[in-house]
Amino acid sequence: MKDNNPLKNMKYIKVLACIIGLASMAELKAQQTGSAPQQYSFSVQQAVDFALQNNVGVKNALLDISIAKQKTNEMLGAGLPQLNASGDLKYYAKAPVINFPNFGNVVYSILESEQLLNNPKPNLPATIPASLFTKFVATGSVDASQLIFDGGYIIGVKASKKYNELTKQNAEQIKIETSANIRKSYYNVLVGNERLEILNTNVTRLEKLLNDTKALLENGFVEKIDADRLEVSLNNLKTERDNIVRLLSLGSYVLKFQLGMNADDQLTLTDKLEDVDVKSFALIQSPTDAGKRIEYSVLQTTQTLQQLNIKRYQYGYLPSVVAYGSVQAQALRNEFDIFDTKKGWFPVGLIGGTIKIPIFDGLQKSAKIKQERFTLIKLQNGMEQLKNAIALETTTANINLENALASLETQSRNKKLAEEIMRVSKIKYDEGVGSNIEVVNAESSLRESVSNYYNALYNAIVAKIDLDKATGNIK
């Protein structure tokens, strides 16, 4: 029997509303926390731009720039006036006692020497214990100081600004590395997609050929070994396709990791391999200017910092001057009435200055200066070595690109020949004037030539990226 109880129906409605509300809140929270998978479509340049905003290494490098700026502010703050206020309250449960000289002995001695003492001199103690402290002592003070001159501070300010420049250069270096890695991973996935598409086509073609051969076998036109050969080739082809699928999944995951994306996000690559203008891959004809490499700029800035470090120790021989001042007020009470406005506080004020003049430190600064000079020489040696390393890297990248382009041209011709051989072998087999062995061999040669072609294409792209990086043309 149908239940028409309105109270019971209202209860069900409330429960349903709560469930819907909780589900909506969970969905909203998932969207806010970014847990829901996102979908992205990137060209190679868009992928690089996305990585420069979301890659963890890049974000940390940008945070290092912010940290360096605050370190500069910290250094500058040391040269600004320093103000401090303090308050202090003491309660002496047992006040300190001081032994004062007993002046009674002095008085009696004078009276005795003047023969004014009628009675014998009494035996008085030498000291009398007494306390000058009240039970409550309250003190409030404001202290100020100002650095007038310090050689280390002057050099420190210069060094902090140069350190800002160094962190920016480090961030630029990380961006360049990230950009190169993103491009390599992007084209690696594109090559994998092309190879998978070719393998799928080959599998479809070989499956049709196997089915046709089985039909001919049933009618007695071919032998069983012909069908077995095709089936073996088809199984090998499917295995290779499965391997490519797994490698492609790994390559996509690596790319998303480098981009700073979640592993569950969906990524679509919009660029095509046929859009890559390999003919524009030009070799370099002149030596590379090392100054275009960010690594060289980093080393130059490091050398400047080292020179400032030497000056910091040299300035340590100069005196430092600090001015200071203090204003205090003190309340002395035997009762806790320090806030009683009728009873006064005792003010104290002072102004002073401190000068420190280094005289002899056991030759410590001299030893430190020599150490830092040796370190500077090492940096200079490193710069010379970096110049040679850049020249070697550029030459190597140039030769690798030249070899990759030559290999790509060869593999491109081989691919066209293998496609033609496969086409002719298939026609001959369909017309009954060729064997399936020819088709299997042609299929294997085509598969190998296609794989070699895409490997050569990827190697050429990577070689061009390496050459651009070696010549400082990746910005």
232 shares a domain with 277: yes
H/E run at residue 332? strand 320-333
Question: What's the average model confidence in pLDDT over 239-262?
Answer: 94
Question: What's the average model confidence in pLDDT over 303-307?
Answer: 97
Question: What's the average model confidence in pLDDT over 370-394?
Answer: 96
The whole-number pLDDT of residue 20 equals 45
370 shares a domain with 246: yes
Sign of CA dihedral 69, 75, 81, 84: positive
Q: Does position 19 have pLDDT exceeding 50, yes or no?
A: no
% of the chain exceeding 70 in pLDDT? 92
270 shares a domain with 216: yes
Q: Does position 28 have pLDDT exceeding 50, yes or no?
A: no
322 shares a domain with 310: no
73 shares a domain with 3: no
Question: What's the average model confidence in pLDDT over 101-106?
Answer: 75
268 shares a domain with 170: yes
382 shares a domain with 297: yes
How many structural domains is the chain composed of? 3
Query: CATH code at 426?
Result: 1.20.1600.10
| Phi, psi of 335, deg, nearest 5 | -125, 155
Domain around 88: 83-149+318-356
The whole-number pLDDT of residue 27 equals 46
pLDDT confidence tier of residue 434, bands split at 50, 70 and 90: confident
Q: How far is CA 262 from CA 10, 38, 51, 63, in A?
A: 43, 8, 12, 21
Write the pLDDT tens digit of every residue in 145-196: 999 999 999 999 999 999 999 999 999 999 999 999 999 999 999 999 999 9
Last residue of a domain, one of 356, 380, 412: 356
**What is the C-alpha separation between 345 and 306, in angstroms, rounded?**
54
Write the pLDDT tens digit of every residue in 108-156: 777 767 767 677 767 778 788 877 788 899 999 999 999 999 999 999 9
Question: What's the average model confidence in pLDDT over 329-342?
Answer: 86
417 shares a domain with 381: yes
Q: Work out the mean pLDDT of the chain and round it to a whole number.
A: 88
The answer to the question of residue 475 being in a domain is no
165 shares a domain with 284: yes
Q: Packing angle between helix 56-77 and helix 151-218, nearest 10 degrees?
A: 180
| Per-state percent for the chain, helix, strand, coil, to nearest 5 | 65, 15, 20
Q: Which of 46-55, 346-355, 399-408, 433-442 has the lowest mean pLDDT?
A: 433-442
199 shares a domain with 262: yes
61 shares a domain with 1: no
| Phi, psi of 145, deg, nearest 5 | -145, 155
The answer to the question of residue 437 being in a domain is yes
Of 419, 416, 399, whose CA–CA distance to 459 is shortest?
399
Q: What is the pTM of this model?
A: 0.80
Q: Which of 47-56, 165-174, 274-283 has the lowest mean pLDDT?
A: 274-283
Q: Does position 9 have pLDDT exceeding 50, yes or no?
A: no
The answer to the question of residue 145 being in a domain is yes
Inter-residue contact 288 to 296 (CB < 8 Å): no
The answer to the question of residue 428 being in a domain is yes
352 shares a domain with 368: no
Both structure tokens of 374: 């040796």
